[in-house]
């Protein structure tokens, strides 16, 4: 509990620092607060950067924090993704997947008390602004094609935040043949000897991971530059999501 409170204080401190820096300012904080999260799914850098207009780095649009960008640092993005990242078929198709994951996230929170507690700073069921069920019911959870292979980002705090899901969410695959086109290495994202995951399961993990940023329980470092380290993708928190929120993880409780 004390650790969680400390985390919240750290979050508030970072948020205050970001506010003092001015809206939209790009700081280089090593933290990854709710106000500025993007989560890469795999090694970025496969985008040659040719698809973006010079100053349209999507990271600068949304976060006062350092961004786990997926464009290799060359200013790509801008909607097209260049030639490096394939484009999802349509925003509507991806949004359906996002909506399904959101429903699955709410179901996990409602059906699994340990999952709720994991996502809650206080474990309280009262409908405060950081109550994870209220947050997932309230905030926009929207697909945004920023041309990266990141999972998503979640600026703001509690019911005042939002979750933006990025193309990497759609391209999740566990086939190592797709190293730079959506491959998810479970051993990077989970600290367990073996995990059983479908694509939908991993998408659920993504939504709950982002929700954790908004409720203040998920704070991890990361600059988004390959090679990603376990702590930079929130491995510890992802593992707890697997254990407490996914049916197949219950055996680890």
37 binds Zn ion (CB under 5 A): yes
Query: Which of these ranges, 30-38, 139-147, 160-168, 194-202, lies near Zn ion under the rule CB under 5 A?
Result: 30-38
Give the residue from 68, 88, 15, 120 showing the smallest Cα distance to 233. Answer: 68
CB of 153 to Zn ion, least distance (A): 8
Give the residue from 29, 26, 35, 27 showing the smallest Cα distance to 8. Answer: 35
CB-based closest residue to Zn ion:
39
CB of 213 to Zn ion, least distance (A): 6
Quickly tell me which residue has 């040659």 as its tokens: 48
Site string for Zn ion, 177-206 (x = CB under 5 A): ------------------------------
CB of 231 to Zn ion, least distance (A): 11
CB of 92 to Zn ion, least distance (A): 26
Which of 51, 208 has the CB closer to Zn ion?
A: 208
How wide is the angle at C-alpha 134 spanned by C-alphas 101 and 4, nearest 5°?
95
Give the residue from 59, 39, 93 showing the smallest Cα distance to 208. Answer: 39
Which of 84, 234 has the CB closer to Zn ion?
A: 234
Q: Could you say which residues in the range 222-241 bind Zn ion, by CB under 5 A? A: 234
Which of 224, 234 has the CB closer to Zn ion?
A: 234
CB of 4 to Zn ion, least distance (A): 16
Is residue 34 packed enough to be buried (19+ CB in 10 Å), middle (13-18) or exposed (0-12)? buried
Q: Which residues contact 243 (CB under 8 A, 6 or more apart)?
A: 192, 249, 250, 252, 253
The size of the interface with Zn ion (CB under 5 A), counted in residues, is: 3
Residue count of the chain, please give it. 253
Chain residues in the site for Zn ion (CB under 5 A)? 37, 39, 234
């Amino acid at each position: 509990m004390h650790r969680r409170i400390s985390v919240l204080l750290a979050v508030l401190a970072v948020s205050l620092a970001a506010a003092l820096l001015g809206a939209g300012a790009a700081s280089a904080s090593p933290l990854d607060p709710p106000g500025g999260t993007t989560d890469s799914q795999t090694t970025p850098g496969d985008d040659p950067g040719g698809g973006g207009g010079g100053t349209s780095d999507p990271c600068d649009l949304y976060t006062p924090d350092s961004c786990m960008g997926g464009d290799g640092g060359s200013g790509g993005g801008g909607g097209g993704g260049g030639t490096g990242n394939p484009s999802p078929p349509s925003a509507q198709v991806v949004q359906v997947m996002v909506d399904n994951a959101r429903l699955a996230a709410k179901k996990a929170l409602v059906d699994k008390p340990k999952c709720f507690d994991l996502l809650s700073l206080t474990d309280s069921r009262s409908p405060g602004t950081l109550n994870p069920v209220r947050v997932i019911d309230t905030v926009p959870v929207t697909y945004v094609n920023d041309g990266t292979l990141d999972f998503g980002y979640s600026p703001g705090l509690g019911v005042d935040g939002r979750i933006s899901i990025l193309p990497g969410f759609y391209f999740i695959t566990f086939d190592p043949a797709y190293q730079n086109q959506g491959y998810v290495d479970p051993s990077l994202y989970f600290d367990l000897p073996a995990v059983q995951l479908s694509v939908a399961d991993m998408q659920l993990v993504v939504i709950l991971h982002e929700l954790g940023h908004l409720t203040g329980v998920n704070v991890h470092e990361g600059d988004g530059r390959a090679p990603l380290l376990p702590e930079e993708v929130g491995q510890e928190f992802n593992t707890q999501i697997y254990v407490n929120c996914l049916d197949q993880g219950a055996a680890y409780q």
